[in-house]
Structure 1
Amino acid sequence: MVDPNIVLGIDLGTTNSACAIVQEGRASVVRRGEDRIVPSVVAALRNGELAVGREAKAQRAIDPSQVVYSAKRLIGRRFSSPEVQRMMRSVPYRIVEGDNEA
């Protein structure tokens, strides 16, 4: 059961991300192993699984078309926006148009 008294904060950064929880009035950073921050990278692995953070970042050398990074730059932008069109020319992964120009 989810505890309604726990607050989760997420810092989605272009390069790195972090999250923290506040429980019983105390804040603590959620760690992934020893890391307090995680690279903002997701990779689709050949076995069908997803990798995040450092593991995903390492996949850029192996299969760059399956590694998404700098996704924060796309949030809230229309597909036709100059920013999205410019990014499409500079990243190895595909950016496709969704419903309502998303």
Structure 2
Amino acid sequence: MNPDSGDGQSPPQRPSVGRAVHYVSHGTPVREDGTQAYTAQCRAAVVTAVDPAPDAGPGDVFVSLAVLNPTGLFFDQFVLQDEDDHAGGTWHFPERV
């Protein structure tokens, strides 16, 4: 699902190669006591390809990303957009500040 630009009149944002977006890391598995060593975090990422996924549903937007982590780079393909829940393993446009 693509968000609009915020003013209600601009066309929806669309990913393109070279665009800066946010990738949400998965975090570590939840322990028995309910804690995590590392929680899911937004990370800076650059779109490297806009991917037509073979099993994509209507409105699904997949991209390939180069994710910039504090400890190095991570590359991923067919990453699903999630503007609402920001679930781990998805990408979204940066929030406007």
TM-score (norm 2): 0.24
- Structure number with higher helix proportion: 1
**Larger radius of gyration between Structure 1 and Structure 2:** 1
With a CA cutoff of 8 Å and minimum separation of 6, indicate the structure with the bigger relative contact order. 2
